[in-house]
Amino acid sequence: MIFRWFYISTSRLAEDESDELVADIVRDSIPRNRKLQVTGALLFTGRHFAQYLEGPATSVDTLQRIILDDLRHEDIRTIAEGAYPCRRFVTWSLAYVPPARSGERRIERLLTDAARAREDCVEALAQFMSESAMMGHA
Ligand SMILES: Cc1cc2nc3c(=O)[nH]c(=O)nc-3n(C[C@H](O)[C@H](O)[C@H](O)COP(=O)(O)O)c2cc1C
């Protein structure tokens, strides 16, 4: 059984160097995630992060504890968590989804409109991330 943790957070990175710093995060994460048999994706919009991580429960838990303590972001809100039937980012240790206005819009909607159609919005964001990551790969 695969476990997942999907969250959104607010970046604390200085705007003028954030692209570079996010590239560092992704580069450092790939070998660690691979070792933990974790796959997933990181969306950075310039203001917010959305990260989808999936793998063995113990691995996801390990990463969750580290990421929650990371001072490079704040206001970390879990939007989906727990057992899930399958992996979504099978071939990606950590796919990077670059800034896109539609990504920020989807996150804003989840931040402001928590109750209404929440599950739909969460799945739509995950789907958007996997489609955008695929495009980045091609
Ligand atoms: C938004 C965000 C996403 C992150 N994602 C991952 C990740 O998927 N895998 C990972 O190993 N570290 C990730 N990190 C980094 C960890 O929080 C942490 O800095 C790192 O694992 C600690 O490594 P160190 O102990 O070698 O410094 C992320 C950090 C941030 C801010």
Q: Per residue in 60-97, pLDDT tens?
A: 999 999 999 999 999 999 999 999 999 999 999 999 99
What does the pLDDT average to over 11-38?
A: 94
Across the beta sheet with 73-84, the strand order is 73-84, 2-11, 48-55, 39-44, 95-97
* The pair of three-digit structure tokens given for residue 23, joined into one six-digit string: 């590239």
Domains delineated in the chain:
2-137 (3.30.70.100)
pLDDT the model gives residue 114: 60
The distance between the two most distant Cα atoms of the chain, rounded to a whole number of Å, is 41
Share of the chain above pLDDT 70, in %: 93
Instruction: Pick the more confident residue, 40 or 121.
Output: 40
Please, are residues 93 and 29 in contact by the beta-carbon 8 Å criterion? yes
What does the pLDDT average to over 8-36?
A: 94
pLDDT category of residue 117 using cuts at 50, 70 and 90: low
Q: Output the ligand 1 site: residues, CB below 6 A.
A: 25, 29, 32-33, 42, 49, 51, 53, 63, 66-67, 70, 72-73, 94
Mutation to probe ligand 1, out of 27, 28, 74, 75 (largest number of atoms < 8 A from CB) = 28
pLDDT the model gives residue 136: 54
What does the pLDDT average to over 16-43?
A: 95
pLDDT category of residue 128 using cuts at 50, 70 and 90: very high
